[in-house]
Chains A and B, each alone.
Chain A
């Protein structure tokens, strides 16, 4: 026999599972949005004319508003790279930079911005590990969900 207590537990469990499903789909939606914005930045460069090859993989996460974050990446000298960061947070200010392991930013390339994305081009002077650093400052100071994509040629 199902007791009132277990009904209540079942109800709570059901609500919790529903909330989880909702949160999961929300999180997925944020990622899809963030990625689609990153790919918006990529579009012209990965076209036949742009000539860049997009890696069919991406990195995603969330960070507090105004908090710097980085993807550590092995870059190969001789390639030109474009990195794009997209976020679903509207009206946010975005920054991007590429540093070597010593913290030197000595290989400035182009930076491009869109409404919800920012991109940086880089050709490194030496093969090795670099930090693709970025920061998203949201207007409402809420955390930002982001996705990073890159291409090379």
Chain B
């Protein structure tokens, strides 16, 4: 019979070693894994995709250049009543820029570039934006369409960064929403030309809508503006049409198009 002493040496210590090592190994395993339960309750604002992410998918639908061109509504430089209006308009103009890239319309891009610069000037952002608008016009002249698209993305990003630096987050949201409304109108128009459930899938955006609506409702000054109120009402109308349940039918696409077109006319133009 082995003594307790010999047992501790031959069996207990290795056993203890295993017992101690197991939790350490488990801890190491845990560090390799991040579970949903660890992050689910940490609600953060949703990151809004940049237009290029959406247009990248639309590229795969092989939309004819003329179809893009038909949807183009090159906006003229307009005088707005306030900075929110200018920011909404700027978002809309940049969205139009992406469309002009798809249509490969040099003249439209040049005109949009000039309008972007002039609206940026009204918002005190001329010096930040001028390098982008110059590049947009140069690259459009060279026919480097992917570079033009990247430059429109960069313009949008610079505008948002500058606004956030100046603590103008509300204006930055206006740029996003202005672009999103016009972007949604463009996408729905194109899907309806040659409808398929595969294409309409891109319109499942309930949490994005939630994000925009919540943000707009939180800004007290927006509550006093009839224009902003219209946007909130419009976004609320779009919410049930753009849920993530089921297929978005041709009729629903048409309804989304009609609401976003109305929103553009009523809120994105002075």
Contact = CB atoms under 8 A, between A and B. Distances in A.
A140 interface: no
Main secondary structure of the interface of B (DSSP, over half): helix
Given A56-B157, A78-B202, A153-B56, A134 B40 contact: no
Interface in B26-66: 28, 30-40, 42-50, 52-54, 56-57, 60
Contacts of A74: 46-49, 205, 207-208
Interface stretch (A3-11, A12-20, A34-42, A122-130): A122-130
B179 to A, nearest CB: 14
Contact of A129 (B33, B46, B150): B46
B153 interface: yes
Given A76-B57, A127-B201, A129-B208, A103 B36 contact: yes
Main secondary structure of the interface of A (DSSP, over half): strand
Nearest to B59: A78
B34 A129 contact: no
A69 B203 CA distance: 28
B259 to A, nearest CB: 19
A53 interface: yes
A96 B31 CA distance: 10
Contacts of B50: 55, 57
A137 B57 contact: no
Interface string B153-167: 110010000000000
Interface of A: 53, 55-57, 59, 66-79, 93, 95-97, 99, 101, 103, 105, 126-129, 131, 133-135, 137, 152-153
Interface of B: 28, 30-40, 42-50, 52-54, 56-57, 60, 150, 153-154, 157, 201-208, 244
